[in-house]
Structures are given as structure tokens and as C-alpha cells.
Amino acid sequence: MEKERIKLVSEPVQMDDGEAAEHDPLVGKVIAGHLEILSILGAGGMSTVYKAQHLLLDRLVAVKLVQAGQFKAKATMRFQQEAKAATKLNHPNIATVREFGVDEEGSAYLVMDFVEGMPLSDAIKKASSLDAARTRKLMIQICEGLKHAHEAGVVHRDLKPANIILSPGEGGQETAKLVDFGIAKIVDEESQANLTQTGEVFGTPNYMSPEQCL
């Protein structure tokens, strides 16, 4: 029997200009008892991504926090079930999801590895274009990460250069890391009524397959 596909949807994340980060009430606070929020990495319509210190693991992480009230009780349970699938992804080309839960304010969250590096989108802008050898190496890594996720029944749903981090390594080597496997399919379903009325779709049209855009 074919594995059931668990679709995860990620919102387009736009980098904050720093001013909003200064006024974000969570910066400097500890949520869920062990996640110290350090700064904002990006924000979308339903969620915010923070750089945080995991006080139990003593390591830097990225925390995607879904605003309280976005989920109903049943949806929260399904979110947790589907997020659990993402924690099983263990691959050098995927930023690992370490944990998930609901904080004291009722906001659902995912904790992912914090990846140092530059988004592929920024690398393309900086260099105008990538040479063939570098492109080939990165594409192989990206495909390996996707293959691992698909074999586990997990689909990214918003794969684009901004969601691929180029992490520097020794000797000038770089590793492509897929990030933002983040918000579960239930976010899509909870918003479906409004989306149907407005004709909006999840994902980034320029990087979606034709059948998804139609």
C-alpha cells in the first residue's frame, strides 16, 4: 500500500527590517519553559520564525510560532500528529525538526535546527548566476533531501530558493539545507473557506508545478 502523503505547507517568509523585532514582545522571553527567544528571523501572515536558545539542549534553534487562535482544538491535535512526521526526517540536506507543541498562550510551535548560512535566493542575486559545477552539486543535494522526505511520506509544498540555505563548511564546501517544512496541512484546511472565495493558493506561484497553479 502506498504511504499516505502528509503535506506540510510553509508560508512565504519575509525578513524583518529589525524595527519590528525591537518591538516584538516575545524577544528576550522564554516560551514553552525552555525556548529563549533571541530575535526574529522572518514573519508571514500566520506565523513568525524566531532565532532561539534551546535551554535544555544548549543549542541555537529556529522556532516557528503559529499565532494563537489559528487552530481549533481538533486542528491542533492534527497539527501535532502531522508535525510528528517531520521530526522523523533525518538527512544532511534537511534542517531537522526537533520538537513541536503548544506554548502557554495556546500558540502551536515547531523547533528546527538553526542553520547558519545564506539563502540560495540571496546567493543568486549576489552572483547573478551560478556556475554549472556549483549548480550541479547543489541540485544533487537538494534532490537527495527531497528523496528522503518523499520516502517518508512528507511533501514540502513550498520549495523555492528562499527555503534552501547554503551552509558553509570546511575547505569552502557548502551544504544545501532544505528548511521550512514547517506548518502542517491543517493550516491550509483551516483557511480553505477564505482561500476559495479569494482564489488564493498556498505556495509561491513562480516555483509551483503548473497543475498546482491552475
What does pLDDT average to over the chain? 79
16 carries an active-site annotation:
no
- Which residue in the list 113, 131, 158, 188 is annotated as catalytic? 158
Q: Any residues with CB less than 8 A from the CB of 141 and at least 6 apart, and which?
A: 93, 175, 176
pLDDT for position 21 = 52
Other beta carbons within 10 Å of 90? 10
Place of cell 543535494: 141
What CATH number belongs to 6-213?
Answer: 1.10.510.10
At 70, the pLDDT band (50, 70, 90 cuts) reads low
Domain boundaries, the chain: 6-213
DSSP 131-196: -HHHHHHHHHHHHHHHHHHHHTTEE-S---GGGEEEEE-GGG-EEEEE----EEHHHHHHTHHHHH
Q: What percent of the chain has pLDDT over 70?
A: 69
Find which of 21-25, 135-139, 204-208 is predicted with most confidence, using mean pLDDT: 135-139
pLDDT for position 61 = 97
Place of cell 506540510: 8
pLDDT for position 127 = 86
pLDDT for position 75 = 65
12 by DSSP, 3-state: which? coil
Tell me: the pLDDT tens digits for 156-198? 877 889 889 999 988 788 999 998 764 534 444 555 444 444 4
Other beta carbons within 10 Å of 4? 7
DSSP character at residue 208: S
214 by DSSP, 3-state: which? coil
Tell me: the pLDDT tens digits for 45-55? 677 899 999 99
Closest CA relative to residue 13, chosen from 184, 199, 188, 158: 158
At 33, the pLDDT band (50, 70, 90 cuts) reads very high
